[in-house]
Structure 1
Amino acid sequence: MKKFKKIILFLVIAVIAFTLFFKVKDPNIKAKSAVLMNADTGEILYQKNQDVPLAAASMSKMMTQYLVLEQIEAGLLNWEEQVVISSHSADSEGVKIDIELGDTLTVRDLFIATVVASANNAAVALAEHVAGSEAEFTKLMNEKAVEMNLSDETNFVNATGLENKQLDDDETQMSALDVATLSYHLLNDFPKVLEVTSLSQYQLDYDDIVLYSTNEMLETYSPFYFEGVDGLKTGFTDEAGYCFAGTAKQGDTRLISVVMGTEDDEQRFIETKTLLSFGFNKFQLPSLRAIVKDLFK
Structure 2
Amino acid sequence: MAGGAVRKLIVSVVVGAAVLVGTGAPAQAAPKGPRPTAIKAKAVALNLNGKTIWGENANAKRPIASLTKVMTAIVVLRQETNLGRTLKIKKKYTTYGDKWNASEAGLVIGDKVKVRDLLYGALLESGADATAALADAYGPGYKNFVSKMNANAKRLGLKKTHYANFDGLPYPSQTSTYSTAAEQIKLAEYALRFPTIQKAAAAKKVTIRTAKNRSYTFKNTNRLIGKYPGVLGIKTGYTNGAGYCFMFAAKRGKRTQIGIILGSPTEKRRFYDAKRMLDWGFSG
- TM-score bracket for the superposition, by shorter chain length: 0.7 to 0.9
**Structure ranking higher in helix proportion:** 1
Q: Which amino acid aligns with 1:98?
A: G
Identify the residue that residue 213 of structure 1 maps to in structure 2. Answer: 220
Select 1:179's aligned residue among 184, 190, 200: 184
Please report how far the alpha carbon of residue 118 of structure 1 lies from its aligned counterpart in structure 2 after TM superposition.
0.9
Distance 1:272 1:135, change over 3 A: same
| Equivalences, count | 248
CA separation in 1, counterparts of 2:111 and 2:60? 41
1:103-132 Cα offsets, whole Å, 9 max, x none, are: 321101101111111111101111111111
Q: Structure 1 vs Structure 2: percent identity of aligned residues?
A: 28
TM-score between the two structures when normalised by the length of structure 2 = 0.82
Q: Superposition pairs for residues 1-297 of structure 1, below 5 Å?
A: 23-28=32-37, 29-38=39-48, 40=49, 42-72=50-80, 75=81, 78-93=82-97, 94-151=102-159, 153-164=160-171, 166=172, 171-187=176-192, 189-206=193-210, 207-219=214-226, 225-281=227-283, 284=284
SS at match of 1:183: helix
SS at match of 1:83: strand
CA separation in 2, counterparts of 1:36 and 1:144? 23
Q: Which amino acid aligns with 2:223?
A: E
Contact 2:47 2:185 in 1 (8 A): yes
TM-score between the two structures when normalised by the length of structure 1 = 0.79
CA separation in 2, counterparts of 1:126 and 1:199? 20
SS at match of 1:209: strand
SS at match of 1:202: strand
Mean Cα deviation higher: 86-95 or 132-141: 86-95
Please report how far the alpha carbon of residue 55 of structure 1 lies from its aligned counterpart in structure 2 after TM superposition.
0.9
Distance 1:169 1:232, change over 3 A: closer
Distance 1:198 1:22, change over 3 A: closer
Please report how far the alpha carbon of residue 180 of structure 1 lies from its aligned counterpart in structure 2 after TM superposition.
0.8
User: Whose Rg is larger?
Assistant: 1
Structure 1 unaligned residues grouped into runs of 5+: 1-19, 220-224, 285-297
CA separation in 1, counterparts of 2:122 and 2:261? 20
Distance 1:239 1:122, change over 3 A: same
CA separation in 1, counterparts of 2:91 and 2:146? 18
Distance 1:169 1:229, change over 3 A: closer
Structure 2 unaligned residues grouped into runs of 5+: 1-28
